A and B are shown apart, each in its own frame.
Chain A
Amino acid sequence: MYPFDTAPLDLILGVVLLWLLIGLAGLARPTSLRFVSRVLFPMGTVGGAMLLLVAVFAIRVEPVSLVLPLGLPDLPFHLRLDALSAFFIALVGAVALGVSLFSAGYFRQGEGTVPGLLCLQYHVFLSSMVLVIVADDAYLFMVAWETMALSSYFMVTTSHKIAEIRRAGFLYLLMAHIGAIALLLCFGVMHGEAGQYTFDALRSSALSPFWASAAFLLALFGFGAKAGLLPLHVWLPEAHPAAPSPASALMSAVMLKTAIYGFLRVTFDLLPTQIWWWGVVTLVLGLLTALFGVMFAAVQSDMKRLLAYSSIENIGIIFAGAGLAIIFHAYSNPHMAALALVATLYHCVNHAFFKSLLFLGTGSVLHATHERSLGKLGGLIRNMPWVAGLSLVGALAIAGLPPLNGFVSEWLLLQAFLFSPGLPNPYLNMLVPLGSAALVLAAALSGYVMVKFYGVIFLGQQREEKLREARDAGLWERAGLAWFAMGCVALGLFPMAVILLLDHVTLPLVNFTLSAAISGSGWLLFTPVAAERASYSPIFFLLGIAGTLLVTFLAVRGFYHGRVRRSAAWDCGFPEQTSRMQDSAEGFGQPITQIFEPFFRVRRQMPDPFSRRPVYFKTNEDRLWYWLYLPIARANERIASWIGVLQHGRIHLYLLYSFITLLALLLFVR
């Protein structure tokens, strides 16, 4: 079962220590790129591999606790590793492995921050995320949470000389802290009368339904702010593109998942019961977020912003699954709750893999071409075949196409939606299946987005001359990308293995395991509910398509011929075909803008027929920024300016303030 001698929690803490040491070592020789890239990051990779290995075995083991005497005198650090934590640690380890491998070949000099400092920020980020996941009391949780936010802030503002990036970083930090305040309040509410803040104490404190709902809503707000749930998502499309690509990958793949971990921990573990309308709120927010994310992704013209919005979409899908699990659990349907929870967790790991793959791929493209805008890329499949091929796997996986991994989690989630009639509430009975249509719309539009993303960057003609000199990624980068691509394929072809692991997670949370229901279908067929209800065999799928491909290829070559001639493209006989004639990113998104116009805030400037230098531009902006954030920011400024009246620089008035305060204290506090 568990092959190592040392307890899993100790090994995990060992890896955390290793990472912290690597980070500090980076400070020893901060400007030496060679040392950081070739020595430190590969060591970090080893740490990631250790973490993955330990966590995968630790999922099946009993929960382990530890108390570290660090921290404040009366508040030691409590740590605990149970199945849910182990699963997320495995996720962190797997992603850290691939991203560190990629980063070993990625970082260049002169990107704004010295490599040693970047190494420190990176490894502190990784360590803090692990600590968030194993934290067993609110204190360590918040300390690690804040460290996570701070270290990622520094990574986001790596190229801090650009004003836009500084602004993005500020917004990011602001939203992170608003979320953190909500989390503190949430822990405070759950704490109630208990003396301690350990999770055990929080678990056992008795909460009335009102306070439990308050705690849930605060948790949804706080974790949603970190995860990028609507309407707290505005920082995501700014911050993720601003960071260097490995940092973006880590943030998208792992940091958002720590928020999901926190949400699941609070809702299923710490809160005593679940109420059905919590699930409905989560489900609705999740579906809205998914649709929002994918619609905005379809109209972007910056490749990293497109991926950031796609992350918002996937987080929406994850929250929708979590909401469904809450609904089923509240109505005491453990089978369906387990199914929805498994779908949610599976999608977490899937998203981690394919989003990292794509972000890292864009990192390679960025380094090869120095262009982020989709309007200046194109045709890179010829110059960068490795990156193109591996990114194709990632793009197909995000679009939810069989037999890759994105399809499996979407399939599971749809199964959970489909078998939901059977709920006692008739409104839910009718509305939940309609909600599945929103999910399918989001999935189908993500196919649209991925065709746009892959087609504009890698296919077609090259839109700029300098793209001809683009060179493929180096060996380290290819290794990192290949790790994720293999992960996507493996997670898609062998879902049974993952479900068996996830069973250990769902058992303590919803008291049901899917494998009990699957009995005897073997590793070939995937039947989470029952064989005659639904089944899917990804291996048959792949073999079927590949087999037919081979047979057809050979038959056509055999009976006919395989002659090929090359000539200019046909394009219905148009003689002049420049690269400007193919679709641009804005053009590809135009049907979406037209059909879903009420959801965007479109600003257009049409060219004036009489001007000498006509200009046309169109931007798609986020309405929520203008409806929600700007008014709040302005109100904030107004209130601050009122309070600012107090500050006027006159010393005797400041002395007067202190004097009054002293008098008041003497009078009222005996």
Chain B
Amino acid sequence: MSAQLINLMASLMLLIAFAMLAQRRILSLVYLFAWQGAVLAVNSLIVGWYTGHHELYLSAFFTVLLKVIALPMVLHYLIRRLGIQWDVETLINIPATMLAGIALVVFAFNLALPISQLAETITRGTLGIAIAVVLLAFLMMITRRKAVPQVIGFLAMENGLFFAATSATYGMPMVVELGILLDVIVGVLILGIFFFQVREAFDSLDLKHMEKLKESES
């Protein structure tokens, strides 16, 4: 029963990662990220319950606090202050992106097969999915033009790594987790300030304006 629930959570993570890849609206991306955090927290709870590693409860609590409540609120605020909540992003050709996503998923699954045979956790089957989520988030960062979705992609990647840690080794040592969470908070704050500067310099958050920097050198 536990294996089935964990498989279900893993599939939901994969689904959300794919949905993020295909999403055009920035606000929907933030909501999807919040859902991903929620799935992650539930997954930690389930694994904690069935294996008796009680620090996973704490980790789930922090995940909910940070990734379901705090970060989405910060991102929402950022988006509203930057005035881009109605922006619709033109993606690079959805079907091609999807095909690349599928190829990454196949690659990640094949990568994980020998490793999952070695691991001894109950979640070992989901390592492939975790790697796939990381790769998909990376792909999402590559195929986006505006700045805020790229940040969300980076955060999604971190979610994927966290999921991988849960599935391979029942979570990381508490110190490491707290450290990573702190890094994430600080990173988002700095990026937020950065975006305001970018917007002042170029009047838009489209990252292709960054290319102008090289001309201003000469």
With both chains docked as a complex, state the minimum distance between the C-beta of A396 and any C-beta of chain B, in angstroms: 29
Q: Is the CB of B102 within 8 A of A434?
A: yes
Q: Is the CB of A427 within 8 A of B102?
A: no
A520 CB–B CB distance under 8 Å: no
With both chains docked as a complex, state the minimum distance between the C-beta of B90 and any C-beta of chain A, in angstroms: 16
Number of interface residues of A (CB under 8 A): 5
A542 CB–B CB distance under 8 Å: no
Report Cα–Cα, A448/B106, bound state, in Å. 31
Neighbouring B residues of A427 by C-beta, 8 Å: 106, 110
B109 CB–A CB distance under 8 Å: yes
B115 CB–A CB distance under 8 Å: no
Interface residue from A426, A431, A434 paired with B113 (Cβ < 8 Å)? A426
- Chain B, range 2-48, C-beta contacts under 8 Å to A: none
Report Cα–Cα, A231/B140, bound state, in Å. 33
With both chains docked as a complex, state the minimum distance between the C-beta of A283 and any C-beta of chain B, in angstroms: 16
* Closest A residue to B113 using CB positions: A426
Q: Encode A416-438 as 1/0 by CB contact (under 8 A) with B.
A: 00000000001100110010000
Q: Is the CB of A426 within 8 A of B110?
A: yes
Interface bin, chain B: under 10
* Closest B residue to A430 using CB positions: B106
Report Cα–Cα, A426/B107, bound state, in Å. 10
Neighbouring B residues of A426 by C-beta, 8 Å: 109-110, 113
Neighbouring A residues of B110 by C-beta, 8 Å: 426-427, 430
Q: Encode B94-109 as 1/0 by CB contact (under 8 A) with A.
A: 0000000010001001
Neighbouring B residues of A434 by C-beta, 8 Å: 102, 106
Neighbouring A residues of B102 by C-beta, 8 Å: 434
With both chains docked as a complex, state the minimum distance between the C-beta of A422 and any C-beta of chain B, in angstroms: 15
With both chains docked as a complex, state the minimum distance between the C-beta of A284 and any C-beta of chain B, in angstroms: 13
Report Cα–Cα, A426/B110, bound state, in Å. 7
With both chains docked as a complex, state the minimum distance between the C-beta of A469 and any C-beta of chain B, in angstroms: 47
Q: Encode B105-128 as 1/0 by CB contact (under 8 A) with A.
A: 010011001000000000000000
With both chains docked as a complex, state the minimum distance between the C-beta of B125 and any C-beta of chain A, in angstroms: 14
With both chains docked as a complex, state the minimum distance between the C-beta of A597 and any C-beta of chain B, in angstroms: 10
Q: Encode A426-462 as 1/0 by CB contact (under 8 A) with B.
A: 1100110010000000000000000000000000000
* Closest A residue to B109 using CB positions: A430
Neighbouring B residues of A431 by C-beta, 8 Å: 106
* Closest A residue to B107 using CB positions: A427
Neighbouring A residues of B106 by C-beta, 8 Å: 427, 430-431, 434
Q: Using a CB–CB distance below 8 Å, which chain A residues touch chain B?
A: 426-427, 430-431, 434
Given A426-B109, A430-B109, A431-B106, 8 further pairs, Cβ under 8 A:
A426-B110, A426-B113, A427-B106, A427-B110, A430-B106, A430-B110, A434-B102, A434-B106
> Can you sample 11 A-B contacts with CB below 8 Å?
A426-B109, A426-B110, A426-B113, A427-B106, A427-B110, A430-B106, A430-B109, A430-B110, A431-B106, A434-B102, A434-B106
